Structure 1
């Protein structure tokens, strides 16, 4: 892997993980995106629709399609936000809670499988490097940097 770029490794690894999750979700007529959304909604109180996109790192247009599908399938309900008359709270239905539990089980199984093969020290470094990459990209420290030593 020494000749592969960091972004290449990130992308191909994520696509492989995404494919695995989608194959697993397809057994239950679902998708990874639906599972991720279920896991991002507070199962007790629900989640304001305006907070869901940023929490998931998704654009509103992509999220609205997923939510519409989930509502049609009976996984979620939309309720007026009592604290903001213009807002909407997304809550899980009983069926949505069942599918959320299933999604959570699959994520935990994945995590345990990786932890059984990768040392705690290596995982710690993986998390550290991931945080640095997220910080650099989020704070525009790569292409929009102000530090002239990086150009």
Structure 2
């Protein structure tokens, strides 16, 4: 297990503050906070890909006691809107362990589609199947229109 201590967290914050948000090859961690309690409930990672900065990868982690509360969905909806509408990102992907049923449901609910299935990928000490989910700006707009209708 990799240890990530306070000094590591301080270094990460300093590095992120010194880096432009859309820098190719950079990861940015955004806090997900419960508005009512002002409590940190998770984070959303955004990776601007080095080989194509108009493409990025998302990941999210929510504290287990806060699962099924809508935090990931709400946070990713806001992030996707900003990425597509403010930063003109052309493609967003998320790579998900196929056993993570909650994440699979989340990305399907946000209208991502599976673009690739990779079997026997080495992840956290074992071989797993990974789904690569993607969404494009026009697909995001259709999803937004559908949600506004009903």
TM-score, with normalisation over the residues of structure 2?
Answer: 0.30
Which one has more relative contact order, counting CA pairs under 8 Å at least 6 apart?
A: 1
Structure whose residues are more often strand by fraction: 2
**What TM-score, normalized by structure 1, do the two folds share?**
0.30
Q: Rg larger in 1 or in 2?
A: 1
Structure with the higher helix share, 1 or 2? 1
